[in-house]
Structure 1
Amino acid sequence: MLLKSTTKKLALVALAGLATACTGSYVKDNKTFSEDGEVLVSASKESVTKAVMNPARGDAAMRDMYRNPQQTLEFFGIRPDMTVVEILPGGGWYTSILNPIVKDQGKFYAAHFHMYDGAPGYYQRSLESFKNKVETNELYQGLEITEFHHTKAHNIAPAGTADMVLTFRNVHNWYMADGDEGVEQAFVAFAKALKPGGVLGVVEHRLPENRDQAENKRSGYMKESYVIAAAEKAGFKLQAKSDINANPKDTADHPRGVWTLPPRLALGDQDKAKYAAIGESDRMTLKFVKQ
């Protein structure tokens, strides 16, 4: 799903350029310039397109129609020369796009599950599967695996070195596990890794603002205002938000929460056509800057 209108898209681009200027550089005509007007590096479009269109992604590309990686990463402003951290990459759906973008000129950290006493068994299975991809799949080779847990492991990259931290559909997990503290501590970890002026990009299932967050704790959906407040408490400033990943068909009130919808389809064959027609969840897409 693309931005709602050309006007909105232009406004978001303008906001991104303005905020970048505040950190000593600015974006114009898909190029990044220093304060003196020197071209630093081409902006993200070409490198993102190459990574998204790579045939080596295989069947993973079938989810692009819902997750909009091209538009999302351009909105966040990723560049090939950046140090990027992806939080809890799971099976590596986004990793297979992100790592090739920065592999040659930048650095990529995959902050995967932290193995602690009592960690769920699927943590280990997921991590081992991811490590196997790093060893055998060219899309993942060259990245560095670090550990993340919202309250137990915050060293996702050397402190103050990251240009960008990205988290896709994770905030609800920290809230379900440890409530407000879980979410707030996660954002503290992101701020620790980022340089001043660094970007935090958040994509999350969106709960309508007229719903009660606590009453919907197990739904997998989060209120946009809640996520923004948590980020701001950790020292971030909201730079821009987008409806790139919005889905107006999603009412966010399903029997098994967000997992009722694709790709999980937690009800199995029950009303499968109904939920498949809705598609993946309605999602907020938020771009923050570390102050």
Structure 2
Amino acid sequence: MNDRTAPLDQTVDSAEPSSIRRRVLATLALLPLTGVAAAVDRPATASAAALHAAVDGPQRSAANRARDGARHPFETLEFFGLRPDWQVIEIAPGGGWYTEILAPFLNPHGRLYAAHYPADGTSDQRRARAAFRAKLAADPVTYSRVVLGTLPVTRFTDVHPPGGADAVLTFRNIHNWIADGHFDETLRAFFDVLKPGGVLGVEEHRAPPGTSLARVIDSGYVPQDFVVERARAAGFVFQAASEVNANPRDTHDHAQGVWALPPTLRGGEVDRAKYVAIGESDRMTLRFVKPLSAAAPSRATR
């Protein structure tokens, strides 16, 4: 859940009405049923109850709970079709906002793999990884089964669920990969590590259609059709989109990009009330699948 410049565990100053958390506004793009899952599977009642318990559990910090009104974690993970017996890779978990939910949800029957910054990365990346590792160590009851690995660029090196992952989840990271020039390679690494029928769940800051690549890099907002196009080029099938994380108050045209908004509020006190009133960014929430007919991951990516 990495907005690269955002401080870890920062609270949000405004929240969406709680009623939004009770509905998922999904537009299902039902695809040709050749070699792919036919529709978005909803978790069974028991899975939904376990997911609610993880979202509402005492392991979550008060600061992270304060952002639920803007991030809708239950609805987002339900939309991705998350099941408690899945092997899930969380990409760039940052300070562990989603890890606090995913780990207890998957602990009994599944497993969480956290692909964090490299241990030999920049000083900021090393600090972020060390803080995340310390978070895991401080609560072994919740996090002892989490496997800590490293973000892929061209391939995964150390987080490989046996038989392939059931899901790869990424929250607000794609703009960084575009800026760093490895978005396509990273998508292919996701495709390789997933088992056939596996899910790629994406949440990302959403730019208006036609936004230039230069503006994407400068603003942190990415056009939804661009993400769909590149994921398809990597081999994925686009299965569904949800508006659960949409924010119609976001005009997408802030001088300091998405980082003008909560939780970063890069401008400090300048226009702070305006940006707090807007809330967190307008976001796409997308579900892709790896076709059932896709080949098993190559030896190089295991």
Letter of the aligned partner of 1:52 in structure 2? V
TM-fit CA distance, 1:217: 1.7
- The 2-side partners of 1:73 and 1:5 are apart by 13
Residue aligning to 2:145: 142
User: Which structure 1 residue ranges, 5 or more long, are not aligned?
Assistant: 32-41
Deviation digits for residues 191-223 of structure 1, max 9, x if unmatched? 111000100000000001142233332211111
How many equivalent pairs are there?
A: 270
Q: Please, which of 115, 120, 123 is the counterpart of residue 119 of structure 2? A: 115
Residue aligning to 1:172: 175
- The 2-side partners of 1:212 and 1:24 are apart by 34
| TM-score between both structures, scaled by the size of structure 1 | 0.85
Quickly say closer, same or farther: Cα 1:217–1:159, change in 2 above 3 A: farther
Quickly say closer, same or farther: Cα 1:171–1:156, change in 2 above 3 A: farther
- Higher relative contact order, structure no. (Cα contacts within 8 Å, ≥ 6 residues apart): 2
Quickly say closer, same or farther: Cα 1:256–1:128, change in 2 above 3 A: same
TM-fit CA distance, 1:156: 3.5
Letter of the aligned partner of 2:205 in structure 1? H
Aligned Cα root-mean-square deviation (Å):
2.7
Residue aligning to 1:35: none
- The 2-side partners of 1:115 and 1:53 are apart by 32
User: Which structure 2 residue ranges, 5 or more long, are not aligned?
Assistant: 1-15, 292-302
- The 1-side partners of 2:67 and 2:21 are apart by 18
Quickly say closer, same or farther: Cα 1:3–1:52, change in 2 above 3 A: closer
Deviation digits for residues 36-55 of structure 1, max 9, x if unmatched? xxxxxx56311110010113
TM-fit CA distance, 1:4: 11
User: In structure 1, the residue corresponding to 2:168 is in which secondary structure?
Assistant: strand
Quickly say closer, same or farther: Cα 1:5–1:49, change in 2 above 3 A: closer
Higher strand share: 1
Residue aligning to 2:250: 250
Deviation larger for 278-287 or 144-153: 144-153
Letter of the aligned partner of 2:60 in structure 1? R
Q: Please, which of 70, 85, 90 is the counterpart of residue 89 of structure 2? A: 85
Deviation digits for residues 26-72 of structure 1, max 9, x if unmatched? 847x53xxxxxxxxxx5631111001011331221000011100100
TM-fit CA distance, 1:149: 3.5
Q: What is the identity percentage for the equivalent residue pairs of Structure 1 and Structure 2?
A: 44
Higher helix share: 1
TM-fit CA distance, 1:25: 10
TM-fit CA distance, 1:230: 1.1
